[in-house]
């Protein structure tokens, strides 16, 4: 009932070596899979943290700055100089003249 190395056959040695190799490969694969799992969980935690930060920034923008921007746009719109009807008509005539002259320039090429 004791271990006698002289009684070992080549088949028993190769079988034990194969078993140790299988166990080693399983341990290595499980260790690498654990590392990948940790990388993925850290990635999603960083992604969640980033999205929370972006939502806070947008909430600040919408609640605080948007009201100031809208107020400034309203004041700019009230101070805007409007073109008179005669000026608008003159601009329209100038635009039409430019459009009519462009086909002639293309025909010369």
Phi and psi torsions of 3, nearest 5°: -85, 120
Q: Count Cα atoms within 13 angstroms, Cβ side, for 103.
A: 4
First to last CA, the chain: 107
pLDDT digits (tens, 9 = 90+) for 5-56: 888 889 989 999 999 999 999 999 999 999 999 999 999 999 999 999 999 9
pLDDT number for residue 96: 67
Token pair of 50 as six digits: 């980033």
Structure-model confidence comparison of residues 71 and 28, the more confident one: 28
pLDDT digits (tens, 9 = 90+) for 76-90: 888 877 767 777 777
Domain positions in the chain are 12-108
Contacts of residue 83, defined as CB under 8 A and 6 or more positions apart, other chains included, come to 91
């Amino acid at each position: 009932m004791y271990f006698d190395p002289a009684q070992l056959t080549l088949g028993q040695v190769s079988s034990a070596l194969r078993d140790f190799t299988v166990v080693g490969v399983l341990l290595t694969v499980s260790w690498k899979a654990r590392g990948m799992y940790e990388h993925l969980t850290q990635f999603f935690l960083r992604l969640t943290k980033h999205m929370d930060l972006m939502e806070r920034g947008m909430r600040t923008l919408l609640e605080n700055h948007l009201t100031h921007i809208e107020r400034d746009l309203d004041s700019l719109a009230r101070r805007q100089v409007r073109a008179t009807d005669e000026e608008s008509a003159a601009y329209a005539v100038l635009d039409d003249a430019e459009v009519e002259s462009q086909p002639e320039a293309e025909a010369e090429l």
